[in-house]
Amino acid sequence: METHERKRLMSSAYRYAFSRLALNYYTFCEMMLESPAMAEDIRAGEKEFGQLLDGFLNGEDRTAGTDALRGRTMKEMELLASYADCYTVYEYVLNRLERRFVEMEAPKETPEEFADRVVERLRASRDSVILDSGMRSVVAQLPVRYTRQKFYGLVMDKLTAYIGADKAGIEGLLYMLRTSAMMDLPEGRAERYPELEEAYLVLRDADYRNMDKDAYENCRFRLDRAVEVYQAKADVKILMESLLNDLYILFLSRNEAMIDVWEDNMFRHVITGVREHFQRDGLTDIDEALTESLEDLEGIQESAMERIHFKEDETDEDLKKMEILMSASEFAPFEEKGRDTEPADREWVEEKSRQFCEDLEASFSGMPKAVIRAVMAGVLAQLPMTFRSVDELREYVSGSLLACTDYAEREACMELLTRELLDE
| Straight-line distance from the first to the last Cα atom of the chain, in angstroms, rounded to the nearest whole number | 49
pLDDT at residue 338 greater than cutoff 50: no
Residue 365 backbone zone (phi > 0: left; psi -120 to 50: alpha; other: beta): beta
Please state the rounded mean pLDDT for residues 172-176: 95
Asked if residue 33 is part of any domain, the answer here is yes
In the chain, what is the greatest distance between 2 CA atoms, to the nearest angstrom? 71
Q: Which residues of 323-341 are buried (b: 16+ CB within 10 A; e: fewer)?
A: bbbbeeebbeeeeeeeeee
Q: Looking at residue 149, what is its pLDDT?
A: 94
Q: Looking at residue 279, what is its pLDDT?
A: 82
Q: Looking at residue 284, what is its pLDDT?
A: 66
- Greater confidence, 86 or 42? 86
Please choose, from the candidates 402, 353, 400, the residue with its C-alpha nearest in 3D space to the C-alpha of residue 379.
353
Asked if residue 240 is part of any domain, the answer here is yes
Number of domains in the chain: 1
Please choose, from the candidates 252, 240, 323, 251, the residue with its C-alpha nearest in 3D space to the C-alpha of residue 74.
240
pLDDT at residue 366 greater than cutoff 50: yes
Confidence of residue 29 (pLDDT cuts 50, 70, 90): confident
Please state the rounded mean pLDDT for residues 299-309: 89
- Looking at 254-345, list the stretches that DSSP marks H as alpha helix, in order from N- to C-terminal side: 261-279, 288-292, 294-305, 317-325
Asked if residue 119 is part of any domain, the answer here is no
Asked if residue 301 is part of any domain, the answer here is yes
- What residues have CB less than 8 Å from 162, skipping those under 6 apart? 169, 170, 173, 344, 349
Q: Looking at residue 339, what is its pLDDT?
A: 63
Can you list the positions of beta strands (E) in 183-307?
Answer: none
Q: Which amino acid is at 16?
A: Y
Burial class of 127 by CB neighbour count within 10 A (0 to 12, 13 to 18, 19+): exposed
Asked if residue 357 is part of any domain, the answer here is no
Can you list the positions of beta strands (E) in 86-211?
Answer: none
The predicted-structure confidence for 410-424, as pLDDT tens digits, reads as follows 999 999 999 888 775
Domain boundaries, position 57:
3-78+235-325
Q: Which amino acid is at 230?
A: Y
- Give percent of the chain above pLDDT 70: 97
Asked if residue 143 is part of any domain, the answer here is no
The predicted-structure confidence for 35-45, as pLDDT tens digits, reads as follows 877 888 888 88
Q: Looking at residue 367, what is its pLDDT?
A: 95
Alpha-carbon distances of 122 from 383, 396, 420, rounded to whole Å: 18, 14, 12
Asked if residue 61 is part of any domain, the answer here is yes
The predicted-structure confidence for 252-289, as pLDDT tens digits, reads as follows 999 999 998 999 998 998 999 888 888 876 666 777 77
Asked if residue 11 is part of any domain, the answer here is yes
C-beta of residue 238 within 8 angstroms of C-beta of residue 23: no
Q: Looking at residue 24, what is its pLDDT?
A: 94
